[in-house]
Amino acid sequence: MNTFLFSGLLGSVLAGGRQTVAWRNGQICTLAQLRGDVVRLARRAKQAGCQRGCVLGQDAYALLVGLLGLSLVGATPVVLPHTQPGLLASLTDQFDFLLSDDATLAGARLPVLAPDHTTDHACPTTLDNEDGVVEFFTSGSTGQPKRVVRKWSQMLQEVAVLEHVWGGMAGLGPTLSTVPHHHVFGLTFAVLWPLLAGRPFFANGYPFLEELIRDLPRNGVIVSSPAHLGRMAGLTPIAQEQTPRLLFSAGAPLSAQAAQQCHEILGVAVNEIYGSTETGAMATRCWSCNTPEGLPWHPLPGLQMEIDPTGRLTLLSPYVSHEWVATGDQAVPAPNGGFTLRGRLDRIVKVEGKRVGLSEVENCLSGLPHLDQAAVILLNQEQEATLAAVAVPSTAGWERLQQVGAFRFGRELRQELAGWLEPAARPRRWRFLAALPTDPLGKVRATDLERLFSSPSLLGETNHGHS
């Protein structure tokens, strides 16, 4: 592995140089430019007395500058799973500054560290503390935002494992990604790994795979998710000279059919990654042509995985902990040290490759003025996961439902959730009832909720597709 960044903690990055780090808005960003941007931001953070900064980088390069700039002066970078105003406002007590190009963030009520374009570099230029951390927020088992602390040293160890496994195949081509850079998978695979290995990355992400394919250069590396790779039917196969060196997917299991379509259209097998914000990458599997469903996972080198008596998958990883860590997944053993996943043990589900806390969605729904109660389940229909909500309208809600009908009422509720939840976390199917169905003990059971969606004749059937 190219070790130019393993002298101290990212210290050589700040030494500058002419090597290309990123392509941003069609322009080349060099190591020298990265150094200047990082040091200027670090100086501003130090002058402002920033201790904890929420990094809202508009693109992957801006996020990287924020992470390194804060770490340079001993401040803690904080990364959110998304930037909806409701979430940002609810977590303002977790940081004292925002790092963003946007000084008009609604609901933030915090000072914003905007870019500084002066040339004074009077600031430390080495990162020697490998115990420095980056804090991520993700959905926890209670549905509330959960803090996850990752040390820089742990993230560097993870990158070293990735380079050991795939570095020879990746070559020196650029990395392009459809995965948001503030997600751990996107940050690790599409930003930190290329940076540490001396490969450029495209700083501007791609919300649509078609746009990425349009810009795909020779020998590129693609980082994506089932939300994109699972919807490739109908795309034209790319030219052979455009075939990427590697293709990665994570966030949710990819079906064998989708993997086959990826191979046919992109000309390369999919390397699927199993991991989480808390653990980083844990295991992988590679979909070759005509691989059947049920392809087992295998731990990455240096990691050990076991299944406890309850069926819970446990992990021993050098970049997580020196002790065994329990995951939230069930698994069964597979040949050659592999395993097959059997679903989540908690109420965190994956929708379009993103973690969604069902409890969080329910809390947000119950807080809307037109609803008194709500229960949310995940429906798996035609290999596509869809969030469905059973809701009890308030008095005003029943009046609105009668005025506009179930379809429009459900659409209005989705729009009201936009300030708090990402699109993937907003229910697309709805039932409106006078009371939630319960068992004799007063518990709401998923099986009872699922039955409500088996017949479209029940009150409140709406399906909003991707509105």
Q: Establish if 455 belongs to a structural domain.
A: yes
List, for residues 90-145, the tens digit of each pLDDT value: 888 899 998 876 655 544 556 777 656 555 545 555 554 456 899 998 765 445 67
- Tell me how many domains the chain contains: 1
- Kindly state the tokens that stand for 426: 């907003």
**pLDDT confidence of residue 127:** 52
Query: How many residues in total does the chain contain?
Result: 467
Tell me the pairing of strands 338-344 and 325-334. Answer: antiparallel
pLDDT digits (tens, 9 = 90+) for 236-250: 999 999 999 999 999
Taking the complete model, does pTM exceed 0.85, yes or no?
no
Q: Does any domain span residue 379?
A: yes
Say if 69 falls within a structural domain. no
DSSP string, 226-253: HHHHTT-TTPPPPPGGG--SEEEE-SSP
Residues of the chain with pLDDT under 70: 1-18, 101-110, 114-131, 139-144, 381-383, 439-443, 455-467
Q: Beta strand pairing status for 175-177 and 221-224?
A: parallel
Q: What local confidence, expressed as pLDDT, does residue 441 receive?
A: 43
Q: Is residue 421 part of a domain?
A: yes
3-state SS assignment for residue 105: coil
The whole-number pLDDT of residue 144 equals: 66
Give the separation between CA 236 and CA 213, rounded to whole angstroms: 10
Q: How far is CA 186 from the centre of its chain?
A: 7
- Nearest CA to 160 among 329, 309, 303? 303
Whole-angstrom distance, CA of residue 263 vs CA of residue 269: 5
The kind and range of the H/E element at 282 are: strand 280-287
CATH number for 436 = 3.30.300.30
Q: Is residue 197 part of a domain?
A: no
Token digits of residue 257: 């059919």
Asked whether residue 436 is assigned to any structural domain, the reply reads yes
Distances (CA, A) of 390 to 188, 376, 435, 436, 439: 37, 6, 9, 7, 15
| pLDDT in the model for residue 121 | 47
**Structural domain contains residue 189:** no
* CA distance to 34, 281, 319, per residue, from 147 (Å): 28, 18, 17
Reading the block at residue 435, the tokens are: 């009371």
pLDDT score for 9: 41
Q: One-letter amino acid identity for 296?
A: P
Residue whose entry in the numeric block shows the structure tokens 């965190």:
348
Say what the pLDDT of residue 114 is.
64
The beta strand positions in 288-427, using DSSP E, are 298-299, 304-307, 312-316, 325-334, 338-344, 348-351, 354-357, 371-381, 384-393
Residue 417 counted as domain residue: yes
Residue 416 lies in domain: 353-463
CA dist., res. 229 & res. 237, Å (int): 13
117-125 long-range CB contacts below 8 Å, 24 or more apart? 117/40, 118/40, 119/36, 120/40, 120/43, 121/36, 121/39, 121/40, 121/43, 122/43, 123/39, 123/42, 123/43, 123/46, 123/72, 123/73, 124/42, 124/72, 124/73, 125/14, 125/15, 125/35, 125/39, 125/72
